[in-house]
Amino acid sequence: MPELVDSQQLAESLPPRTRGVIALLEENCTVCMLCARECPDWCIYIEAHKETTPPSGPGGRERQRNVLDRFAIDFSLCMYCGICVEVCPFDALFWSPAFAYSGDSLQELTHEAPQLRDWLAAVPAPPATERPLPLAGPPVAPSAGASS
Ligand code: SF4
Ligand code: SF4
């Protein structure tokens, strides 16, 4: 009989940047559609509409902006390749190590925006910036006796 694994113990044994689920920071999403276009499984569903904003001052022009109506990922199709996270130019998608989201039906594996936002809570903080390289000094002239 297979041994049951405690999910808490399993979570503690995983590397912090495990690809468990994808989290969405909705306010960073500009509806550019890059993630949905590049996803090899076509399992990102985005719906949006355009809104017109008035000119910011006299002589200005009206502007149009995209407003997100729906953002969902179907994790029954997702193959966890990470392309969507990599291509998002606005840091709206992140890997979260959360993995305990099995369900009784395939439909439960389609996570809508509020659920994708909930996964943000488990996203690890970004790594500290790498130690900067020392600034380059003035060019060093070759010594007089040096032969080439
Ligand atoms: S991880 Fe890959 S398969 Fe899954 S939603 Fe992103 S691009 Fe699509
Ligand atoms: S690539 Fe990023 S900004 Fe563009 S639609 Fe996807 S999540 Fe939104």
Q: What span, in angstroms and rounded, lies between the C-alpha atoms of 66 and 32? A: 9
- Number of domains forming the structure of the chain: 1
Q: Is residue 143 part of a domain?
A: no
Sequence letter at residue 27: E
Task: Return the SS3 of 44.
Answer: strand
pTM over the 0.75 mark: yes
Residue nearest to atom 8 of ligand 2 (CA): 29
Is residue 65 within 8 Å of residue 45, measured between CB atoms?
Answer: no
Q: Is residue 142 part of a domain?
A: no
Q: Is residue 145 part of a domain?
A: no
Which ligand places an atom closest to the C-alpha of 93? Answer: 2
Domain residue limits at 43: 10-54+61-122
From 34, 74, 84, give the residue whose CB has the most ligand 1 atoms within 8 Å, as the site to mutate: 84
User: Residue 107 belongs to a domain with what CATH number?
Assistant: 3.30.70.3270
Ligand 2 atom with minimal separation from the 28 CA: 3
Contacts of 68 (CB under 8 A, 6+ apart): 26, 29, 31, 46, 47, 48, 113
Q: What is the pLDDT of residues 8-35, one digit of tens each?
A: 888 888 888 899 999 999 999 999 999 9
Q: Is residue 4 part of a domain?
A: no
CA of 129 to the centre of ligand 2 (A): 24
If you write DSSP's letter for every residue of 55-115 in order, what string do you get?
Answer: -SSTT---EEEEEEEEEEEETTT-----HHHHH-TTS-EEEE-------SSGGGGEEEHHH
Q: Is residue 148 part of a domain?
A: no
Residue ranges around ligand 2 (CB below 6 Å): 29-35, 46, 87-88, 90, 92-93
Q: Is residue 29 part of a domain?
A: yes
Indicate whether 139 pLDDT > 70: no
Q: What is the pLDDT of residues 88-109, one digit of tens each?
A: 999 999 999 999 999 899 999 9
